[in-house]
Structure formats: C-alpha cells, structure tokens
Amino acid sequence: QVQLVESGGGLVQAGGSLRLSCAASGRTFSTFSMGWFRQPPGKEREFVSAISWRGGHTYYADYADSVKGRCAISRDNTKKTVYLQMNSLKLEDTAVYYCAGTYGTIVTYADNYNYWGQGNRVTVSS
C-alpha cells in the first residue's frame, strides 16, 4: 500500500507564497509520476502540476496554464517527498489541494492516478 500525506497549506495573502509538501510511503517512489490537483469551492477538481518519470534518471515537469510561471514542482527521492512551490498567489488559487501518484506518464488526467492524499486546504485572502 502507498500512502500520501499533504502538508503546508493554510491562509496566505494575495501575492504571497507557500510550499506544499507531499510525503509518500513505499519503496517505489522514484519511479512514480507525482501530480498536484486542486478543487476550488463549488468547482470540479482540476490539474495543477506534475513531475513525471520518463526513465534515464530524468523527470519532466508539467503545469496548468493557470499556474504556469507562478509555481514550481520538485521532488526529493531520498525523503520520498514532492513539493509544489507557489508564488504570486491569487484569489482563484483558493482550493483544496491533493497530491497523487501514478505509475503512468499521462499526468494531466486524474483518473490515471493510482494513489491520492487526503487533501490540504489553501485559502488566499485579499
């Protein structure tokens, strides 16, 4: 079994920054593609970012247009943790953020993920 636990959310002012963390259990973390999704109030869950394993000790980052240029995804395989650094936060970034893991490489579609965290709320205030 694989467990994912998010942390780092909370209340921040517009224009501020935060870093979300997702700690994973299991021995196969380095070969997982890891993604971040979010669900704003009253809206559907949407893709935010992912860092995908493509072999050859190489990872590739993907970002939704809504956060491109404002966030950076990274991972520490020793700590089995993936991070999402978010800067220049906007009111529309308010959402419950979920981390997820998959053995696949199609990372923008939620149904392709095998494991999910419990969610972590981010609230951006004006």
pLDDT tens sequence across 38-83: 999 999 999 999 998 776 677 889 999 999 999 999 999 889 999 9
- Nearest Cα residue to 36 out of 69, 10, 2, 75: 75
Alpha helices in 13-98 (DSSP H): none
The β-bridge partners of 99 are 36
* Alpha-carbon separation of residue 116 from 15, 36, 87 (angstroms): 28, 10, 24
For residues 13-42, one letter each, b for 16 or more C-beta atoms within 10 angstroms of the residue's C-beta and e for the rest, the string is: eeeeebebbbbbeeeebeebbbbbbbeeee
Per the structure block, which two tokens stand in for 120? 């972590």
16-38, pLDDT tens digit by residue? 999 999 999 976 777 789 999 99
Cα(66)–Cα(93) distance, integer angstroms: 9
82-95, pLDDT tens digit by residue? 999 999 999 999 99
- Which residue type, as a one-letter code, is found at position 17? S
- Nearest Cα residue to 36 out of 50, 19, 24, 22: 50
